[in-house]
Structure 1
């Protein structure tokens, strides 16, 4: 396996790069690895989430819903 170790500016290992072909082989061998991958949201999903956020913001501006702390938003991201 040809791994590349990713290091920060101090030379400390921070990650590993695995070529996609080798990653695919590992996923076939160890089925649970596929669960580690994040799926990219579709354009429809993203637009729906943006619309939902804008509606929530409008309700906050109208005083119908209480605003959440900024940390709550950051934690969600």
Structure 2
């Protein structure tokens, strides 16, 4: 079969699409998507960790002194 990607703009649209799919006995799954900018930030953070660009906090009692 085929896969459809539906992108409702409002909660009302989402509920309507889900109701139609349920009424037609069509199986579906919901997945949350993240903005491309957020995904890029996560990738940059992971790259920083791989390259050792991070701050390690060993004394959680004085956390603010560790990062300032």
TM-score, with length taken from structure 1: 0.32
Higher strand share: 1
